[in-house]
Chain A
Amino acid sequence: MNPALFAHTWRANRTRVLIVALALTVWGTILPIIYDSFGSAFEDIFESGAFPPQFTEFGGGDIFSLTGSVAIGFIHPIAVGLNLVFAVGFATAAIAGERQRGTLEVLLSRPISRRVMYATLAVAGALFVGIAVLGSILGSLIGASLTGRTAELGVGQLPLLWLNGALLYWSIGAIALLASASFDRLSQALGLTLAFVIVSYFLDVLGSLWPDATGLQPYSVFHYLAPKAILSGSSDATDLIVLGTVTAVAVIATLVLFPRRDIAAPS
């Protein structure tokens, strides 16, 4: 890892990191409050049959509990979108974006190997994602405290929940960095990564809402985000292993491919 490059990357992204982490903290805070205020009203609406019963399965089922509400907060498109600012936005721009702007040329003319450059960007990206996910966890804790329901949350499980959330976005970030290191244009890297994320998210949501499509869920990285199971104390190490494996494969592929490829002149 190159400390000077890391410092440069941190300085360039710290405001964004702060804003996203703050937004996720607010989002995490709101959900326990909503549950506390309207949870029983929502339950009545669902029990009246106004919505198909499959809707209650979103986010791991049991949406009428605090842990269920927090779990929904993790898988909700708003939270996913905010986390993707770094997992996809930062990661795809880190190499392909710099190359397209022409700044990669200046960076690579310094005595930094491509592997060190990649490792530095990967560590920086992992840190940004880690801080963002921490914002969600912190928000959930604040929300539970404000509503006096901290005991229902399972505070001891929060570190594992952080690891699960971080691993999901690290795996997406590693894929995004692989795309970023493989393409010359930001649009190509971004397009490919977003396609992967959207299809993956769609498969998981479809599987949770439509029983016939549950077989598709294991093909989605989002399937291995299990906040409800973790907070209930019934988590499965397989989720972490699968996400860790996806991350490791993408990292190794990038470490092999990036140093070997030609860096074309800026377009």
Chain B
Amino acid sequence: MPAIVTSGLTKQYGRAVPVHRPGGPHTTVVRALDDLTIEVNEGEIFGFLGPNGAGKSTTIRLLLGFLHPTAGGASVLGLDSVRDSVAIRALVGYLPGGIAFWDGLTGERLLDELADLSGRPPVRRAELVDRLELSPATLRRTVRDYSRGMRQKLGVVQALQHDPELAILDEPTEGLDPLMQFAFYSILEDLRRAGRTIFFSSHILSEVERVCDRVAIVREGRLVALEDIPSLLARRKRNVEMRLDGPPPDLSGVPGVSDVRIADGWLRCRLEGDVAPFLAAIAGITIHDLTIEPARLEEAFLEFYATDLIEAGHDGSGAGAATAPPEARTT
């Protein structure tokens, strides 16, 4: 059974009533999420990528029943996100983005109260506070005195302390220092090994690439890609740079090679897919230096957002609901 299924999930804010302004009537409708269809498998770490305002948090809030869908639906652990939202929240651990707490409580008291409200014993708390280096002395201080990073650690602990079947984490490493980020990644690995499912939204591409099995990329509320990380990276173009001694090789017609530029003894090109044809084409050439830069998720992401970047460069307007997104690719 998939842990999360969304089918045509759509969320629209505002009313479709014309508002008369200079320049003609406008409607006040904002489509925060448009026809999202994804499946998250049990036991996987699923990355949900997109810049601010792409619809990531809206999706999470729909899954947890904070928002009601305008169209479509979602199920979480086989339960309907609207009808069974209380039952869903009994099985889920949630870390909101930019989490806030009752600041007058000590860290320990806060975790106790949140565990009481969850109705499940905090079986993982001791391990989590240890791995995230929240000392007993820290937990005895009031949350008001915590730094941003300490609050985030507390947020991670409260989301996972009751060992939920599914963890929904919104920007979980925000505010964590690199050491704590690594500690957090290893916690996620352990949860995956224990068969737990993790749905995690982020705009930090390197961490998604590092920990996720699959990734969905959303843009202006619409799904633009849903693939496993290796497949996504396999289709990315690598940057190739060679310093030559002698005539350059003929790379025309070599599968996967594009953007060939030769200048000052350097050959630069882009390489996609299988590297064997490229290696065969340069065999016998004298090469002083060769760099093939590995494909990064950043480039995949930027490719999906290239239109936005160009638009932003031209008119600075950024994203808008009127821009037609590229067709979604799913696997």
Contact = CB atoms under 8 A, between A and B. Distances in A.
Contacts of A265: 57, 61
A105 B57 CA distance: 12
Interface in A1-53: 2, 4-5, 7-8, 12
A262 B66 contact: yes
B114 interface: yes
Interface string A250-267: 000000000010110110
Given A262-B67, A265-B61, A7 B116 contact: yes
Q: Considering residues B87, B96, B98, which has the most beta carbons from chain A within 10 angstroms of its beta carbon?
A: B96
Contacts, number: 66
B119 A4 contact: yes
Interface residues of B, number: 27
Contact of A109 (B67, B87, B89, B102): B89
Given A4-B117, A4-B119, A106 B92 contact: no
Please tell me the size bucket of the interface on A.
20 to 34
A263 B85 CA distance: 14
B100 A101 contact: yes
Contacts of A109: 64, 89, 92, 94, 96
Contact of B99 (A2, A105, A263): A105
Contacts of B96: 102, 105-106, 109
A107 B99 CA distance: 11
A106 B114 contact: yes
8 contacts: A8-B113, A102-B99, A105-B66, A106-B99, A110-B114, A110-B118, A112-B89, A263-B61
B63 to A, nearest CB: 11
A103 interface: yes
Interface of B: 57, 61, 64, 66-68, 85-87, 89-90, 92, 94, 96, 98-102, 104, 113-114, 116-119, 158
A260 B117 CA distance: 22
Contacts of A266: 98, 100
Contacts of B85: 113
A111 interface: yes
Contact of B104 (A12, A105, A263): A12
B100 A106 contact: yes
A222 B238 CA distance: 76
B175 to A, nearest CB: 14
Contacts of A105: 66, 96, 99-100
A249 interface: no
Contacts of A106: 96, 99-101, 114, 158
Contact of B113 (A4, A112, A262): A4
Contact of A102 (B64, B66, B68, B100): B100
B117 A8 contact: yes
B117 A263 contact: no
Contact of B102 (A7, A103, A113): A103
A218 B87 CA distance: 46
A108 interface: yes
Nearest to B13: A262
Q: Which of A5, A106, A112 has the most chain B CB within a 10 Å cutoff? A: A106
A15 to B, nearest CB: 10
A263 B102 CA distance: 19
A35 to B, nearest CB: 41
A101 B99 CA distance: 9
Nearest to B117: A110
